[in-house]
């Protein structure tokens, strides 16, 4: 076949997967990085949803060299997965490569003298909140109730209780897999990553590896007391179980809340299949054990439409939808 004709052939998805697996050194069983048809929905806090064509659990940042090669050679899209606290994966799964940074936990350094904290991407936010408070540092207590990781928190500018990542972030170390040279690691200052409310300008093929935070010296007992109060408030006011926290952004922060609008529309307890609007907090959608991610998405859409019809407010989701045809 002539080169031009061969280049014009559209590679079948399985061919793309095979090419990517080869670039990743084969499957884990063979000593490579690839896990094929891996269930990633259960890796999220919703714990529902399908599989990824390929799943890679990073053991170190150097593994990204092969991930970059797999992307370039196969043309498959990439999804970076932290602790999955802000994702909903479709029942049909994700047709591409999923890279988990949850294993990148080797660095958690607290310099009490400078109040600077260095953390790898996979470190859990509640762990870091408690450790910094124990060291007598303040400014990160809010994170004790967020079940995510540092990497995901940077990408989504996670926040709560009047603060967010932007308030303390100094810089981040990232790997840019879109670079013409493959995996290129660089340090970006906080003003270079475009943090906004629950989002950033980081592209989908940029992997957050670590971050540095500037906190402040304070009273250890006061910091730990604030953490206890935040934990108690969340237990009293927010549901546990299978959810991803607040579903919709407050239309007018401090004035008009999404939860109040959903309540006013009479939607508390509304159910679609295996998904239900929480009775405890109307801006939470719960998934049943063994339930359907597609039910969750359908309920999100229904709530959004009914709130707009009754109030005129068009709610915007905080949840990242993965693998849905209309995401």
Domain positions in the chain: 3-100, 108-225, 239-322
Residue from 83, 278, 318, 320 carrying the catalytic annotation: 318
Among 47, 66, 155, 198, the active-site one is 198
Please tell me which residue in 16, 100, 246, 292 is annotated as part of the active site.
246
| Per-residue pLDDT tens digits for 104-141 | 888 899 999 999 999 999 999 999 999 999 999 999 99
224-279 pLDDT, tens digit per residue, is 999 999 999 999 999 999 999 999 999 998 899 999 999 999 999 999 999 999 99
pTM: predicted TM-score of the whole model, two decimal places: 0.88
Q: Which of 245, 243, 248, 242 is nearest to 301 (CA)?
A: 248
**Is-catalytic flag, 198?**
yes
Residue 108 sits at φ, ψ, to 5 deg, of -150, 90
Return the structure tokens found at 15.
Answer: 């061919």
The closest of 129, 97, 89, 82 to 110, measured between CA atoms, is: 129
Q: Is the dihedral of CA 280, 159, 149, 85 positive or negative?
A: positive
SS3 content of the chain, % helix, strand, coil (to 5): 35, 30, 40
Q: What is the C-alpha separation between 49 and 157, in angstroms, rounded?
A: 24
| Residue 25 backbone class (left: φ over 0; alpha: ψ -120 to 50; beta: rest) | left
Q: Which of 89-93, 179-183, 274-278, 293-297 has the lowest mean pLDDT?
A: 179-183
246 in active site? yes
- Are 120 and 150 within 8 A, CB to CB? yes
Beta strands in 192-259 (DSSP E): 206-214, 216-217
Q: What confidence score (pLDDT) does residue 1 get?
A: 38
Identify the CATH number of the domain defined by range 3-100: 3.30.43.10
Look up 73 and say whether it is catalytic.
Answer: no
The CATH T-level fold of domain 108-225 is: 3.30.465
pLDDT of 319 higher than 90 = yes
Q: What φ, ψ does residue 275 adopt, rounded to 5°? A: -120, 145
* CA Rg value for the chain: 21
> Which overall architecture, per CATH, does domain 239-322 show?
Alpha-Beta Complex (3.90)
């Amino acid at each position: 076949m002539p080169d031009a004709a061969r280049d014009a052939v559209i590679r079948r998805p399985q061919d793309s997967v095979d090419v990517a697996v080869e670039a990743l050194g084969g499957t884990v069983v063979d000593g490579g990085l690839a896990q094929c048809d891996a269930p990633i929905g259960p890796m999220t806090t919703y714990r529902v949803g399908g599989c990824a064509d390929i799943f890679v659990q990073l053991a170190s940042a150097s593994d990204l060299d092969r991930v970059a090669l797999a992307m370039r050679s196969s043309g498959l899209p990439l999804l970076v997965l932290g602790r999955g606290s802000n994702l909903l994966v479709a029942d049909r799964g994700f047709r591409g490569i999923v890279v988990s940074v949850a294993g990148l936990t080797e660095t958690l350094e607290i310099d009490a003298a400078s109040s600077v904290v260095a953390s790898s991407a996979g470190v859990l936010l509640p762990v870091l909140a408690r450790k910094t408070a124990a060291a007598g540092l303040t400014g990160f207590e809010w994170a004790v109730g967020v079940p995510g990781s540092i990497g995901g928190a940077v990408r989504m500018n996670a926040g709560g209780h009047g603060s967010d990542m932007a308030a303390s972030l100094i810089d981040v170390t990232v790997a840019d897999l879109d670079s013409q040279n493959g995996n290129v690691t660089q340090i970006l200052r906080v003003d270079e990553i475009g943090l906004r409310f629950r989002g950033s300008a980081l592209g989908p093929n940029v992997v957050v590896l670590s971050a540095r935070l500037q906190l402040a010296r304070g009273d250890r007992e006061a910091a730990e007391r604030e953490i206890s109060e935040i934990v108690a408030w969340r237990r009293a006011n927010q549901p546990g179980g299978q959810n991803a926290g607040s579903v919709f952004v407050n239309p007018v922060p401090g004035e008009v809340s999404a939860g109040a609008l959903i309540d006013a529309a009479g939607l508390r307890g509304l159910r679609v299949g295996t998904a239900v609007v929480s009775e405890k907090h109307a801006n939470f959608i719960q998934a049943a054990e063994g339930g359907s991610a597609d039910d969750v998405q359908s309920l999100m859409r229904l709530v959004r439409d009914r709130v707009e019809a009754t109030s005129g407010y068009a709610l915007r989701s905080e949840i990242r939808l993965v693998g849905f045809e209309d995401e």
